[in-house]
Protein backbone atom coordinates (compact mmCIF):
# COMPACT_ATOMS: atom_id res chain seq x y z
CA UNK A 1 0.00 0.00 0.00
CA UNK A 2 1.54 3.28 -1.00
CA UNK A 3 0.60 6.27 1.16
CA UNK A 4 2.17 9.64 1.89
CA UNK A 5 3.02 10.03 5.58
CA UNK A 6 3.17 13.73 6.43
CA UNK A 7 5.14 13.13 9.61
CA UNK A 8 7.76 11.11 7.79
CA UNK A 9 7.52 13.37 4.74
CA UNK A 10 7.92 10.34 2.53
CA UNK A 11 6.00 7.59 0.78
CA UNK A 12 5.60 4.54 2.99
CA UNK A 13 5.28 1.16 1.30
CA UNK A 14 3.74 -1.75 3.19
CA UNK A 15 3.43 -5.19 1.63
CA UNK A 16 2.60 -8.74 2.64
CA UNK A 17 5.56 -10.38 4.32
CA UNK A 18 4.66 -13.93 3.34
CA UNK A 19 3.91 -14.13 -0.35
CA UNK A 20 2.98 -17.81 -0.16
CA UNK A 21 -0.40 -16.88 1.27
CA UNK A 22 -3.56 -16.60 -0.76
CA UNK A 23 -4.22 -13.05 -1.85
CA UNK A 24 -7.79 -11.93 -1.43
CA UNK A 25 -9.13 -8.87 -3.15
CA UNK A 26 -7.25 -6.12 -4.89
CA UNK A 27 -7.92 -2.58 -3.77
CA UNK A 28 -6.88 0.67 -5.30
CA UNK A 29 -5.83 3.12 -2.60
CA UNK A 30 -5.38 6.80 -3.19
CA UNK A 31 -2.80 8.85 -1.38
CA UNK A 32 -1.85 12.48 -1.39
CA UNK A 33 1.44 13.99 -2.50
CA UNK A 34 2.46 17.44 -1.28
CA UNK A 35 3.39 19.51 -4.29
CA UNK A 36 3.46 16.75 -6.82
CA UNK A 37 -0.20 15.96 -7.31
CA UNK A 38 -1.96 12.65 -7.09
CA UNK A 39 -0.32 9.32 -6.59
CA UNK A 40 -1.85 5.98 -6.01
CA UNK A 41 -0.89 2.36 -5.55
CA UNK A 42 -2.24 -1.12 -5.76
CA UNK A 43 -2.81 -2.65 -2.33
CA UNK A 44 -2.32 -6.39 -1.85
CA UNK A 45 -4.10 -8.04 1.06
CA UNK A 46 -2.15 -10.98 2.43
CA UNK A 47 -1.34 -12.91 5.57
CA UNK A 48 0.37 -12.13 8.84
CA UNK A 49 3.78 -10.53 9.04
CA UNK A 50 3.77 -7.05 7.48
CA UNK A 51 6.94 -5.12 6.94
CA UNK A 52 7.13 -1.35 6.54
CA UNK A 53 9.96 0.88 5.65
CA UNK A 54 10.25 4.62 5.50
CA UNK A 55 12.59 6.91 3.70
CA UNK A 56 14.03 9.93 5.44
CA UNK A 57 16.42 12.26 3.70
CA UNK A 58 17.96 15.16 5.59
CA UNK A 59 19.98 17.50 3.41
CA UNK A 60 22.61 15.36 1.71
CA UNK A 61 22.05 12.29 3.89
CA UNK A 62 19.40 9.59 3.92
CA UNK A 63 18.42 6.93 6.37
CA UNK A 64 16.52 3.80 5.55
CA UNK A 65 14.83 2.26 8.58
CA UNK A 66 13.24 -1.18 8.36
CA UNK A 67 10.84 -2.69 10.85
CA UNK A 68 10.68 -6.45 10.69
CA UNK A 69 9.98 -9.46 12.84
CA UNK A 70 12.88 -11.19 14.51
CA UNK A 71 16.35 -10.02 15.45
CA UNK A 72 19.11 -9.43 12.94
CA UNK A 73 22.45 -10.88 13.89
CA UNK A 74 25.96 -10.65 12.49
CA UNK A 75 25.96 -14.39 11.83
CA UNK A 76 22.73 -14.15 9.88
CA UNK A 77 24.11 -11.29 7.81
CA UNK A 78 27.16 -13.33 6.92
CA UNK A 79 24.96 -16.02 5.42
CA UNK A 80 24.00 -13.60 2.63
CA UNK A 81 27.25 -12.67 0.95
CA UNK A 82 25.73 -11.81 -2.45
CA UNK A 83 24.34 -8.44 -1.31
CA UNK A 84 20.77 -7.21 -1.08
CA UNK A 85 18.44 -6.25 -3.92
CA UNK A 86 17.26 -2.64 -3.66
CA UNK A 87 14.86 -0.73 -5.92
CA UNK A 88 14.58 3.06 -5.97
CA UNK A 89 12.38 5.02 -8.33
CA UNK A 90 9.15 6.76 -9.12
CA UNK A 91 6.26 6.09 -11.46
CA UNK A 92 2.87 7.35 -12.49
CA UNK A 93 1.71 6.19 -9.05
CA UNK A 94 3.95 8.60 -7.16
CA UNK A 95 4.94 11.47 -9.46
CA UNK A 96 3.52 13.70 -12.16
CA UNK A 97 4.92 13.82 -15.68
CA UNK A 98 6.79 17.06 -14.84
CA UNK A 99 8.85 15.20 -12.23
CA UNK A 100 9.24 11.99 -14.25
CA UNK A 101 10.69 13.77 -17.27
CA UNK A 102 13.46 15.31 -15.15
CA UNK A 103 14.70 11.86 -14.16
CA UNK A 104 14.06 10.21 -17.53
CA UNK A 105 17.08 8.55 -19.14
CA UNK A 106 17.06 7.81 -22.91
CA UNK A 107 17.41 4.12 -23.74
CA UNK A 108 20.78 4.76 -25.36
CA UNK A 109 22.08 5.99 -21.98
CA UNK A 110 20.69 3.20 -19.75
CA UNK A 111 23.98 1.31 -19.85
CA UNK A 112 26.18 4.33 -19.06
CA UNK A 113 23.86 5.42 -16.24
CA UNK A 114 23.99 1.90 -14.79
CA UNK A 115 27.78 1.92 -14.94
CA UNK A 116 27.90 5.25 -13.13
CA UNK A 117 25.69 3.83 -10.40
CA UNK A 118 27.80 0.67 -10.12
CA UNK A 119 30.85 2.86 -9.52
CA UNK A 120 29.34 4.19 -6.29
CA UNK A 121 31.18 2.93 -3.23
CA UNK A 122 28.37 0.78 -1.80
CA UNK A 123 26.80 -0.41 -5.08
CA UNK A 124 28.13 -3.57 -6.73
CA UNK A 125 25.58 -4.05 -9.54
CA UNK A 126 23.01 -1.72 -11.13
CA UNK A 127 20.40 -1.56 -13.89
CA UNK A 128 18.23 1.35 -15.10
CA UNK A 129 14.67 1.11 -16.41
CA UNK A 130 13.27 4.40 -17.77
CA UNK A 131 9.95 4.61 -19.64
CA UNK A 132 7.27 7.24 -20.15
CA UNK A 133 5.51 6.11 -16.98
CA UNK A 134 8.35 5.15 -14.65
CA UNK A 135 11.98 5.62 -13.75
CA UNK A 136 13.49 2.85 -11.62
CA UNK A 137 16.95 1.79 -10.53
CA UNK A 138 17.69 -1.76 -9.37
CA UNK A 139 20.98 -2.32 -7.60
CA UNK A 140 22.83 -4.69 -5.30
CA UNK A 141 24.40 -3.44 -2.07
CA UNK A 142 25.90 -5.13 0.97
CA UNK A 143 25.06 -2.03 3.00
CA UNK A 144 21.58 -1.11 1.79
CA UNK A 145 21.41 2.10 3.83
CA UNK A 146 24.65 3.54 2.51
CA UNK A 147 23.86 2.34 -1.03
CA UNK A 148 20.41 3.91 -0.95
CA UNK A 149 21.81 7.20 0.28
CA UNK A 150 24.42 7.31 -2.48
CA UNK A 151 21.93 6.42 -5.23
CA UNK A 152 19.46 9.11 -4.13
CA UNK A 153 22.24 11.69 -4.06
CA UNK A 154 23.26 10.58 -7.56
CA UNK A 155 19.67 10.93 -8.85
CA UNK A 156 19.30 14.35 -7.26
CA UNK A 157 22.52 15.59 -8.84
CA UNK A 158 21.68 14.12 -12.27
CA UNK A 159 18.11 15.48 -12.38
CA UNK A 160 18.72 18.78 -10.67
CA UNK A 161 15.86 18.08 -8.24
CA UNK A 162 16.76 18.92 -4.62
CA UNK A 163 16.71 15.90 -2.32
CA UNK A 164 14.04 17.56 -0.18
CA UNK A 165 11.71 17.63 -3.18
CA UNK A 166 12.80 14.32 -4.67
CA UNK A 167 12.10 12.42 -1.43
CA UNK A 168 8.34 13.12 -1.68
CA UNK A 169 8.12 11.16 -4.93
CA UNK A 170 10.62 8.30 -4.55
CA UNK A 171 9.85 4.82 -3.31
CA UNK A 172 12.52 2.57 -1.83
CA UNK A 173 12.06 -1.21 -1.69
CA UNK A 174 14.52 -3.82 -0.49
CA UNK A 175 14.97 -7.58 -0.82
CA UNK A 176 11.66 -9.43 -1.29
CA UNK A 177 9.63 -6.26 -1.86
CA UNK A 178 12.08 -5.04 -4.52
CA UNK A 179 12.05 -8.41 -6.31
CA UNK A 180 8.25 -8.63 -6.13
CA UNK A 181 7.90 -5.10 -7.50
CA UNK A 182 10.06 -5.88 -10.55
CA UNK A 183 8.07 -9.06 -11.22
CA UNK A 184 4.80 -7.08 -11.16
CA UNK A 185 6.30 -4.39 -13.40
CA UNK A 186 7.54 -6.94 -15.96
CA UNK A 187 4.13 -8.61 -16.00
CA UNK A 188 2.30 -5.35 -16.64
CA UNK A 189 0.49 -5.53 -13.29
CA UNK A 190 1.93 -2.19 -12.15
CA UNK A 191 1.35 -0.42 -15.48
CA UNK A 192 -1.06 2.41 -16.16
CA UNK A 193 -2.83 -0.07 -18.42
CA UNK A 194 -2.84 -3.40 -16.57
CA UNK A 195 -1.52 -6.22 -18.72
CA UNK A 196 0.05 -4.02 -21.42
CA UNK A 197 2.87 -5.78 -23.23
CA UNK A 198 5.25 -2.93 -23.99
CA UNK A 199 6.82 -2.94 -20.51
CA UNK A 200 7.99 -6.56 -20.91
CA UNK A 201 9.94 -5.56 -24.03
CA UNK A 202 11.44 -2.68 -22.06
CA UNK A 203 12.51 -4.99 -19.21
CA UNK A 204 14.09 -7.28 -21.83
CA UNK A 205 16.00 -4.29 -23.18
CA UNK A 206 17.06 -3.37 -19.65
CA UNK A 207 18.48 -6.89 -19.18
CA UNK A 208 20.13 -6.87 -22.61
CA UNK A 209 21.97 -3.61 -21.93
CA UNK A 210 22.85 -4.33 -18.30
CA UNK A 211 24.19 -7.83 -18.98
CA UNK A 212 26.29 -7.04 -22.04
CA UNK A 213 30.08 -7.04 -21.86
CA UNK A 214 30.34 -3.45 -20.65
CA UNK A 215 27.11 -3.62 -18.63
CA UNK A 216 26.71 -3.14 -14.90
CA UNK A 217 24.68 -6.25 -13.96
CA UNK A 218 26.42 -9.10 -12.17
CA UNK A 219 25.29 -12.56 -11.14
CA UNK A 220 22.36 -11.46 -8.97
CA UNK A 221 20.81 -8.76 -11.17
CA UNK A 222 21.28 -10.89 -14.27
CA UNK A 223 19.36 -13.76 -12.66
CA UNK A 224 16.74 -11.33 -11.26
CA UNK A 225 16.00 -9.75 -14.65
CA UNK A 226 15.86 -13.12 -16.42
CA UNK A 227 13.40 -14.42 -13.81
CA UNK A 228 11.30 -11.24 -14.13
CA UNK A 229 11.12 -11.72 -17.90
CA UNK A 230 10.16 -15.38 -17.45
CA UNK A 231 7.42 -14.38 -15.01
CA UNK A 232 6.12 -11.73 -17.39
CA UNK A 233 5.88 -14.26 -20.22
CA UNK A 234 4.09 -16.78 -18.01
CA UNK A 235 1.50 -14.23 -16.87
CA UNK A 236 0.69 -13.34 -20.46
CA UNK A 237 0.59 -16.91 -21.75
CA UNK A 238 -1.11 -18.63 -18.80
CA UNK A 239 -3.76 -16.02 -17.91
CA UNK A 240 -6.17 -13.88 -19.91
CA UNK A 241 -4.83 -10.63 -18.47
CA UNK A 242 -3.21 -9.57 -21.74
CA UNK A 243 -6.32 -10.27 -23.78
CA UNK A 244 -7.54 -7.00 -25.19
CA UNK A 245 -4.83 -5.13 -23.27
CA UNK A 246 -3.89 -1.76 -24.73
CA UNK A 247 -0.62 0.14 -24.84
CA UNK A 248 -0.15 3.83 -24.20
CA UNK A 249 -0.38 4.33 -27.97
CA UNK A 250 -3.74 2.58 -28.24
CA UNK A 251 -4.99 4.46 -25.18
CA UNK A 252 -4.05 7.70 -26.95
CA UNK A 253 -6.03 6.64 -30.02
CA UNK A 254 -8.94 5.69 -27.79
CA UNK A 255 -8.78 9.15 -26.20
CA UNK A 256 -8.88 10.71 -29.67
CA UNK A 257 -11.81 8.52 -30.63
CA UNK A 258 -13.77 9.48 -27.51
CA UNK A 259 -13.00 13.21 -27.71
CA UNK A 260 -13.06 13.83 -31.48
CA UNK A 261 -16.71 14.78 -31.82
CA UNK A 262 -16.62 16.97 -28.69
CA UNK A 263 -13.33 18.71 -29.50
CA UNK A 264 -13.42 18.79 -33.30
CA UNK A 265 -17.05 18.37 -34.29
CA UNK A 266 -16.23 15.32 -36.40
CA UNK A 267 -15.50 11.62 -35.72
CA UNK A 268 -11.99 10.18 -35.68
CA UNK A 269 -12.30 8.32 -38.98
CA UNK A 270 -13.07 11.61 -40.78
CA UNK A 271 -10.13 13.48 -39.24
CA UNK A 272 -6.74 14.31 -40.73
CA UNK A 273 -4.01 12.96 -38.46
CA UNK A 274 -0.38 14.00 -38.11
CA UNK A 275 2.18 11.92 -36.18
CA UNK A 276 5.47 13.47 -35.08
CA UNK A 277 8.14 10.75 -34.94
CA UNK A 278 8.55 7.39 -36.64
CA UNK A 279 9.60 5.09 -33.81
CA UNK A 280 7.89 2.18 -32.04
CA UNK A 281 5.17 4.33 -30.49
CA UNK A 282 4.37 5.86 -33.86
CA UNK A 283 4.14 2.40 -35.41
CA UNK A 284 1.58 1.43 -32.78
CA UNK A 285 -0.31 4.67 -33.39
CA UNK A 286 -0.58 3.90 -37.10
CA UNK A 287 -1.70 0.36 -36.32
CA UNK A 288 -4.51 1.50 -34.02
CA UNK A 289 -5.54 4.48 -36.18
CA UNK A 290 -5.96 2.31 -39.27
CA UNK A 291 -8.02 -0.16 -37.24
CA UNK A 292 -10.36 2.78 -36.46
CA UNK A 293 -10.71 3.55 -40.16
CA UNK A 294 -8.51 6.66 -40.30
CA UNK A 295 -7.49 7.22 -43.93
CA UNK A 296 -5.40 10.40 -43.79
CA UNK A 297 -2.15 10.05 -41.81
CA UNK A 298 0.97 12.19 -42.18
CA UNK A 299 4.29 11.10 -40.65
CA UNK A 300 6.79 13.84 -39.77
CA UNK A 301 10.30 12.71 -38.84
CA UNK A 302 13.91 13.95 -38.83
CA UNK A 303 15.00 11.43 -41.47
CA UNK A 304 13.09 9.87 -44.31
CA UNK A 305 14.57 6.40 -43.76
CA UNK A 306 12.54 5.53 -40.63
CA UNK A 307 9.40 7.01 -42.18
CA UNK A 308 9.81 4.88 -45.30
CA UNK A 309 10.26 1.77 -43.14
CA UNK A 310 7.02 2.64 -41.35
CA UNK A 311 5.24 3.20 -44.65
CA UNK A 312 6.42 -0.20 -45.88
CA UNK A 313 4.88 -1.86 -42.81
CA UNK A 314 1.47 -0.35 -43.65
CA UNK A 315 1.23 -0.28 -47.47
CA UNK A 316 -2.57 0.08 -47.39
CA UNK A 317 -2.45 3.14 -45.10
CA UNK A 318 -1.06 5.41 -47.85
CA UNK A 319 1.02 7.40 -45.37
CA UNK A 320 2.22 10.87 -46.31
CA UNK A 321 5.87 11.38 -45.34
CA UNK A 322 7.36 14.73 -44.34
CA UNK A 323 10.62 15.96 -42.81
CA UNK A 324 10.82 18.05 -39.63
CA UNK A 325 11.22 21.33 -41.51
CA UNK A 326 7.61 20.79 -42.62
CA UNK A 327 6.38 20.07 -39.09
CA UNK A 328 4.42 23.28 -38.44
CA UNK A 329 2.56 23.30 -41.80
CA UNK A 330 1.71 19.60 -41.29
CA UNK A 331 0.39 20.26 -37.78
CA UNK A 332 -1.61 23.22 -39.09
CA UNK A 333 -3.32 21.05 -41.72
CA UNK A 334 -4.15 18.24 -39.25
CA UNK A 335 -7.18 17.91 -37.03
CA UNK A 336 -5.33 15.65 -34.60
CA UNK A 337 -1.58 15.62 -33.91
CA UNK A 338 0.18 12.89 -31.93
CA UNK A 339 3.66 13.79 -30.64
CA UNK A 340 6.03 10.87 -30.10
CA UNK A 341 9.63 11.94 -30.69
CA UNK A 342 12.80 11.52 -28.67
CA UNK A 343 13.27 15.29 -28.25
CA UNK A 344 14.54 16.33 -24.83
CA UNK A 345 12.44 19.53 -24.76
CA UNK A 346 9.09 20.68 -26.23
CA UNK A 347 9.00 21.04 -30.00
CA UNK A 348 5.47 22.48 -30.08
CA UNK A 349 4.86 25.61 -28.02
CA UNK A 350 2.25 28.34 -27.89
CA UNK A 351 4.75 30.63 -29.56
CA UNK A 352 5.56 28.52 -32.63
CA UNK A 353 1.93 27.38 -32.99
CA UNK A 354 0.58 30.93 -32.92
CA UNK A 355 -1.00 31.54 -36.30
CA UNK A 356 -0.48 27.91 -37.37
CA UNK A 357 -3.63 26.47 -35.77
CA UNK A 358 -6.42 28.37 -37.47
CA UNK A 359 -9.24 25.93 -36.73
CA UNK A 360 -10.19 23.37 -34.10
CA UNK A 361 -7.30 21.06 -33.25
CA UNK A 362 -6.44 18.26 -30.85
CA UNK A 363 -2.84 17.70 -29.72
CA UNK A 364 -1.93 14.49 -27.87
CA UNK A 365 1.54 14.15 -26.37
CA UNK A 366 2.62 10.59 -25.47
CA UNK A 367 6.30 11.41 -24.97
CA UNK A 368 8.39 11.77 -21.81
CA UNK A 369 10.05 14.27 -21.75
CA UNK A 370 7.09 16.13 -23.21
CA UNK A 371 7.07 17.23 -26.84
CA UNK A 372 4.20 19.70 -26.35
CA UNK A 373 4.70 22.61 -23.94
CA UNK A 374 2.22 23.17 -21.12
CA UNK A 375 1.36 26.67 -22.39
CA UNK A 376 -0.34 25.18 -25.48
CA UNK A 377 -3.34 24.36 -23.26
CA UNK A 378 -3.89 28.07 -22.74
CA UNK A 379 -3.86 29.09 -26.43
CA UNK A 380 -7.61 29.09 -27.11
CA UNK A 381 -10.78 27.11 -26.52
CA UNK A 382 -10.48 25.63 -30.01
CA UNK A 383 -7.15 23.93 -29.20
CA UNK A 384 -7.24 20.91 -26.89
CA UNK A 385 -3.93 19.54 -25.58
CA UNK A 386 -3.45 16.22 -23.72
CA UNK A 387 -0.44 14.40 -22.23
CA UNK A 388 0.23 10.93 -20.81
CA UNK A 389 -1.38 11.79 -17.48
CA UNK A 390 -4.69 12.45 -19.25
CA UNK A 391 -4.72 8.83 -20.43
CA UNK A 392 -5.56 7.61 -16.92
CA UNK A 393 -9.23 8.44 -17.32
CA UNK A 394 -9.34 6.76 -20.71
CA UNK A 395 -8.02 3.44 -19.50
CA UNK A 396 -9.95 3.37 -16.21
CA UNK A 397 -12.93 1.59 -17.77
CA UNK A 398 -10.66 -1.22 -19.01
CA UNK A 399 -9.16 -1.94 -15.61
CA UNK A 400 -12.00 -3.81 -13.88
CA UNK A 401 -11.76 -7.05 -15.87
CA UNK A 402 -7.97 -7.15 -15.69
CA UNK A 403 -8.03 -6.41 -11.98
CA UNK A 404 -10.09 -9.53 -11.40
CA UNK A 405 -7.28 -11.54 -13.01
CA UNK A 406 -4.56 -10.07 -10.78
CA UNK A 407 -4.86 -12.89 -8.24
CA UNK A 408 -4.20 -15.57 -10.86
CA UNK A 409 -1.28 -13.58 -12.26
CA UNK A 410 0.29 -13.00 -8.84
CA UNK A 411 -0.02 -16.69 -7.96
CA UNK A 412 2.20 -17.45 -10.97
CA UNK A 413 4.63 -14.73 -9.95
CA UNK A 414 4.92 -16.20 -6.45
CA UNK A 415 6.30 -19.38 -7.98
CA UNK A 416 8.97 -17.33 -9.76
CA UNK A 417 9.63 -15.38 -6.56
CA UNK A 418 10.15 -18.59 -4.61
CA UNK A 419 12.55 -19.96 -7.24
CA UNK A 420 14.59 -16.75 -7.29
CA UNK A 421 14.80 -16.44 -3.51
CA UNK A 422 15.81 -20.09 -3.14
CA UNK A 423 18.59 -19.49 -5.65
CA UNK A 424 19.62 -16.23 -3.99
CA UNK A 425 19.67 -17.80 -0.52
CA UNK A 426 21.81 -20.65 -1.82
CA UNK A 427 24.52 -18.12 -2.69
CA UNK A 428 25.11 -17.62 1.02
CA UNK A 429 26.13 -21.27 1.28
CA UNK A 430 28.75 -21.13 -1.48
CA UNK A 431 31.71 -20.14 0.77
CA UNK A 432 30.93 -22.97 3.20
CA UNK A 433 30.46 -25.46 0.36
CA UNK A 434 33.78 -24.39 -1.15
CA UNK A 435 35.56 -24.83 2.19
CA UNK A 436 33.93 -28.24 2.64
CA UNK A 437 35.11 -29.35 -0.81
CA UNK A 438 38.62 -28.05 -0.13
CA UNK A 439 38.73 -29.79 3.27
CA UNK A 440 37.55 -33.07 1.78
CA UNK A 441 40.13 -32.87 -1.01
CA UNK A 442 42.84 -32.05 1.51
CA UNK A 443 41.98 -35.16 3.56
CA UNK A 444 41.88 -37.31 0.42
CA UNK A 445 45.24 -36.02 -0.75
CA UNK A 446 46.82 -36.56 2.68
CA UNK A 447 45.67 -40.19 2.69
CA UNK A 448 46.89 -40.65 -0.88
CA UNK A 449 50.31 -39.29 0.09
CA UNK A 450 50.52 -41.77 2.98
CA UNK A 451 50.00 -44.63 0.52
CA UNK A 452 52.36 -43.20 -2.08
CA UNK A 453 55.12 -45.77 -1.46
CA UNK A 454 52.66 -48.63 -1.92
CA UNK A 455 51.48 -47.14 -5.22
CA UNK A 456 54.98 -47.12 -6.67
CA UNK A 457 54.40 -50.29 -8.65
CA UNK A 458 51.15 -49.02 -10.20
CA UNK A 459 51.07 -47.99 -13.82
CA UNK A 460 49.90 -44.48 -14.76
CA UNK A 461 46.48 -45.78 -15.78
CA UNK A 462 46.11 -47.72 -12.52
CA UNK A 463 47.16 -44.67 -10.48
CA UNK A 464 44.61 -42.58 -12.43
CA UNK A 465 41.93 -45.17 -11.61
CA UNK A 466 42.75 -44.93 -7.89
CA UNK A 467 42.61 -41.13 -8.09
CA UNK A 468 39.20 -41.30 -9.79
CA UNK A 469 37.93 -43.85 -7.27
CA UNK A 470 38.95 -41.82 -4.21
CA UNK A 471 37.58 -38.59 -5.66
CA UNK A 472 34.27 -40.31 -6.43
CA UNK A 473 33.99 -41.63 -2.86
CA UNK A 474 34.71 -38.18 -1.38
CA UNK A 475 32.29 -36.40 -3.71
CA UNK A 476 29.48 -38.80 -2.86
CA UNK A 477 30.18 -38.44 0.85
CA UNK A 478 29.87 -34.64 0.80
CA UNK A 479 27.08 -34.47 -1.79
CA UNK A 480 24.38 -34.96 0.86
CA UNK A 481 25.51 -32.14 3.18
CA UNK A 482 25.99 -29.76 0.22
CA UNK A 483 22.54 -30.49 -1.23
CA UNK A 484 20.94 -30.06 2.17
CA UNK A 485 22.72 -26.75 2.68
CA UNK A 486 21.69 -25.42 -0.73
CA UNK A 487 18.06 -26.28 -0.07
CA UNK A 488 17.68 -24.46 3.25
CA UNK A 489 15.46 -21.39 2.81
CA UNK A 490 15.35 -20.12 6.39
CA UNK A 491 18.35 -17.90 7.14
CA UNK A 492 18.47 -18.75 10.85
CA UNK A 493 18.38 -22.47 10.12
CA UNK A 494 21.17 -22.02 7.57
CA UNK A 495 23.36 -20.35 10.22
CA UNK A 496 22.84 -23.29 12.57
CA UNK A 497 23.70 -25.84 9.86
CA UNK A 498 26.77 -23.83 8.80
CA UNK A 499 28.05 -23.81 12.37
CA UNK A 500 27.51 -27.56 12.63
CA UNK A 501 29.41 -28.19 9.39
CA UNK A 502 32.24 -25.96 10.47
CA UNK A 503 32.50 -27.84 13.77
CA UNK A 504 32.21 -31.33 12.28
CA UNK A 505 34.65 -30.83 9.43
CA UNK A 506 36.88 -28.24 11.16
CA UNK A 507 36.35 -25.74 8.34
CA distance 9 to 170: 11
CA distance 194 to 216: 30
Check if the beta carbon of residue 485 is closer than 8 Å to that of residue 429. Answer: yes
Is 132 catalytic? The answer is: yes
* Contact partners, residue 75, CB within 8 Å, separation at least 6: 495, 499
What is the dihedral angle through the alpha carbons of 235, 239, 245, 248, rounded to the nearest 10 degrees?
A: -10
What is the layout of strands, in order, in the sheet containing 134-141?
A: 125-130, 134-141, 84-91, 171-174
Q: Is 14 left (phi over 0), alpha (psi -120 to 50) or beta?
A: beta
Q: Tell me which residue of 167, 181, 135 sits closest to 16, measured CA to CA.
A: 181
For 301-317, b where at least 16 C-beta lie within 10 A, e where not — what string?
A: bbeeebbeebbeebeeb
Alpha-carbon Rg for the chain in angstroms: 28
Per the residue annotation, which of 21, 31, 111, 132 is the catalytic one?
132
CA distance 178 to 220: 13
Is residue 223 exposed (0-12), middle (13-18) or buried (19+ Cβ within 10 Å)?
Answer: middle
Residue positions annotated with a catalytic role: 132
Amino acid sequence: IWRFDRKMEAFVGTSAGEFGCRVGRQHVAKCGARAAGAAYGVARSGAASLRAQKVEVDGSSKKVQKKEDGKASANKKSAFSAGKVVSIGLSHHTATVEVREKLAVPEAEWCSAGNQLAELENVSEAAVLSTCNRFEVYFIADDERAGTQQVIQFLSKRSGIPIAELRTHLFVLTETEAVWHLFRVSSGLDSLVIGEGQILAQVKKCHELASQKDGSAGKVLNRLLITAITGGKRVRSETQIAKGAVSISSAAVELANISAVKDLGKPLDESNVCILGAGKMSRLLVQHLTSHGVGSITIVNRSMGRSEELSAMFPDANLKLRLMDEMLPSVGQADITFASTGASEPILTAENLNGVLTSKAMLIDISVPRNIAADVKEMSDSVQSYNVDDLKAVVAKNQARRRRLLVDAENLLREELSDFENWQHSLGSIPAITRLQERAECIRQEEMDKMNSKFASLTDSERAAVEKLTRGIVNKMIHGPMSHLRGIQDADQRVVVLRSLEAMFKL
